[in-house]
């Protein structure tokens, strides 16, 4: 969470940021509770100091054999202790209120973040690749999946409920192939790849900024005091909580995991196919680096470039978007989304999201390092999707479909598909 002194010095910025991000933040309540906490702390420390001095006085009087005076001072010590019990209870309550309210304070946004209400106000930075031109009526990914017997949504719903699916045969292999491609790309670029827990403690979600504001998007395991993470970012960052890092160079991590999201508030949106599902797989980039805005900005550009490289290897057209204030989460300082062209939508659809969090996450997670002067500083953290599937299968199938119904397989994926150059029709019904 952000430093309380900084919040006091920047109350209008905090208030404006909460308004931009549409976060209900009772900032005045936080300031009042902090005032009370400061006063209680000062009074408590003064009373403890007085008690300690009187305790020494009791010892001195007893050594001198003056028991009567000693007992009188002892009574004063007991009165102070009784008062301290009340003060410490009030201080604990003030601390609790401050902490609960501090968890709602948003990370300020970068100066180059566009101001806007929602994703319609995001700003396009660049487009890459040519859009396909079909001389025939193209099929969407659901039709292609059914035609090739590689996607079965009705049976997925039968087993798992709404927004569920089944990938089978070549569909499963494509799902695995894009993940293998991403892992190989990131490994070559200095990332340590990891398979991390997806069942996490609530404090891991709180420390990484997903709780309390994102709790409605997260599945709880009843009776376990654990939750299903919506991204391996939660585990990757939590691995280093309460540690003092070596920051000679940025720590580059890539997590491979299943992900689970409730998608609360998305009723009626993107209900067809694989775009918005409750369970998916993702290769996530996470970087922990020094507390230097220029360094973390460079890392944001690096992890975005990694995602773009993967899309180029998949031979898919995309555009890069500067995300506006109203489309950002509480924890994000600067965000860049990548949207890939999806013919069935007649539009670009989000497939990647890169964020620079500055020290917001590291403060909550207590991840520090020693600077050149030997002083402890909080690290900066960043994250970005390398690839998320099955969503990426939407543009992969739709952009690479052929008039005869076959599907071209990009060269970069073929070594993971046993050399297969395209999915041919017909395929045997499974």
Q: Cα separation of 266 and 279, whole Å?
A: 15
Asked if 339 and 348 count as a contact pair (C-beta separation under 8 A), the reply is yes
Q: Cα separation of 209 and 124, whole Å?
A: 27
Q: Which of 163, 363, 368, 391 is catalytic?
A: 391
pLDDT at 429: 46
Q: Verify whether residue 350 is a known catalytic residue.
A: yes
Q: Verify whether residue 276 is a known catalytic residue.
A: yes
Determine what percent of the chain is predicted with pLDDT higher than 90.
95
Q: Cα separation of 95 and 320, whole Å?
A: 43
Options 2.40.128, 1.10.3470, 1.10.287, 2.60.120; CATH of 4-102: 1.10.287
DSSP-derived secondary structure letter, 148: T
Q: What is the pLDDT of residues 135-177, one digit of tens each?
A: 999 999 999 999 999 999 999 999 999 999 999 999 999 999 9
Chain centroid, CA 178 distance in Å? 22
119-423 CATH fold:
BirA Bifunctional Protein; domain 2 (3.30.930)
Which spans in 369-410 are helix H? 393-399
Q: What is the mean pLDDT of residues 107-115?
A: 98
Kindly indicate the confidence band of residue 2, based on its pLDDT and cuts at 50, 70 and 90: very high
Q: Cα separation of 187 and 253, whole Å?
A: 9
Q: Cα separation of 328 and 46, whole Å?
A: 44
Q: Which of 350, 355, 364, 365 is catalytic?
A: 350
Supply the mean pLDDT for the chain.
Answer: 96
Q: What is the pLDDT of residues 79-100, one digit of tens each?
A: 999 999 999 999 999 999 999 9
Beta strands in 143-230 (DSSP E): 192-195, 199-200, 219-221, 226-228
Q: Which residue reads 């497939």 in tokens?
A: 351
DSSP-derived secondary structure letter, 282: E
Q: What is the mean pLDDT of residues 38-51?
A: 96
pLDDT at 267: 66
Q: What tokens were used for 156?
A: 């997925």
Beta strands in 144-301 (DSSP E): 192-195, 199-200, 219-221, 226-228, 244-245, 251-260, 279-289
CATH 3.30.930.10 occupies which residues in the chain?
119-423
Q: Which of 51, 163, 261, 364 is catalytic?
A: 261
Q: What is the pLDDT of residues 368-395, one digit of tens each?
A: 999 999 999 999 999 999 999 999 999 9
Q: Cα separation of 427 and 430, whole Å?
A: 9
Q: Which of 189, 262, 276, 414 is catalytic?
A: 276
Q: What is the mean pLDDT of residues 117-123?
A: 97
- What does R_g of the chain's alpha carbons equal in angstroms? 28
pLDDT at 430: 44
Secondary structure of residue 192 in the 3-state scheme: strand
Report pTM.
0.94
Q: Cα separation of 104 and 113, whole Å?
A: 21
pLDDT at 266: 72
Kindly indicate the confidence band of residue 264, based on its pLDDT and cuts at 50, 70 and 90: confident
Secondary structure of residue 335 in the 3-state scheme: strand
Q: Verify whether residue 353 is a known catalytic residue.
A: yes
Asked if pLDDT for residue 358 goes beyond 60, the answer is yes
Q: Cα separation of 363 and 368, whole Å?
A: 8
Kindly report the backbone phi and psi dihedral angles of residue 156, in degrees, each rounded to the nearest multiple of 5, phi listed first.
-65, -40
Chain centroid, CA 375 distance in Å? 28
pLDDT at 428: 54
Could you tell me which of 397, 400, 319 has the C-alpha nearest to residue 123? Answer: 319
CATH 1.10.287 occupies which residues in the chain?
4-102
Q: Verify whether residue 302 is a known catalytic residue.
A: no
């Amino acid at each position: 969470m952000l430093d309380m002194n900084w919040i006091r010095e920047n109350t209008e910025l905090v208030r404006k940021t909460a308004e931009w991000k549409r976060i209900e933040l009772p900032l005045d309540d936080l300031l009042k509770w902090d005032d009370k906490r400061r006063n209680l702390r000062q009074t408590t420390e003064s009373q403890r100091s007085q008690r300690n001095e009187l305790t020494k006085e009791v010892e001195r009087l007893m050594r001198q054999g003056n028991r009567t005076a000693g007992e009188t001072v002892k009574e004063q010590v007991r009165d102070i202790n009784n008062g301290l019990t009340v003060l410490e209870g009030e201080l604990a309550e003030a601390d609790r209120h401050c902490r609960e309210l501090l968890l709602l304070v948003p990370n300020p946004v970068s100066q180059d973040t566009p101001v806007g209400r929602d994703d319609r106000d995001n700003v396009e930075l660049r487009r890459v690749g040519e859009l396909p031109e079909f001389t025939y009526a193209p099929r969407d990914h659901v039709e292609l999946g059914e035609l090739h017997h590689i996607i079965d949504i009705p049976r997925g719903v039968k087993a798992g409920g709404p927004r569920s699916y089944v990938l089978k045969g070549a569909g499963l292999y494509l799902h695995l192939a894009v993940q293998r491609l991403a892992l190989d790309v990131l490994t070559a670029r200095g990332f340590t790849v990891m398979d991390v827990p997806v069942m996490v403690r609530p404090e891991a979600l709180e420390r990484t900024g997903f709780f309390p504001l994102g709790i409605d998007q997260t599945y709880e395991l009843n009776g376990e005091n654990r939750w299903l993470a919506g991204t391996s970012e939660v585990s990757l960052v939590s691995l280093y909580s309460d540690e003092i890092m070596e920051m000679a160079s940025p720590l580059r991590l890539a997590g491979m995991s299943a992900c689970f999201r409730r998608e609360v508030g998305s009723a009626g949106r993107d209900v067809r196919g694989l775009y918005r599902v409750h369970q998916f797989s993702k290769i996530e980039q996470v970087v922990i680096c020094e507390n230097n805005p220029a360094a973390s900005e460079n890392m944001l550009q690096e992890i975005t470039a990694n995602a773009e490289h993967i899309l180029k290897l998949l031979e898919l057209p995309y555009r890069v978007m500067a995300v506006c204030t109203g489309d950002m989460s509480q924890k994000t300082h600067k965000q860049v989304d990548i949207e890939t062209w999806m013919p069935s939508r007649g539009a670009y659809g989000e497939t990647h999201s890169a964020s620079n969090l500055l020290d917001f996450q590291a403060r909550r997670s207590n991840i520090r390092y020693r600077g050149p002067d030997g002083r402890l500083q909080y690290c900066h953290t960043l994250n970005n999707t390398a690839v998320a599937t099955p969503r990426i299968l939407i543009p992969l199938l739709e952009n690479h479909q052929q008039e005869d119904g076959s599907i071209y397989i990009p060269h970069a994926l073929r070594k993971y598909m046993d050399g297969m150059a395209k999915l041919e029709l017909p395929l045997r019904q499974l």
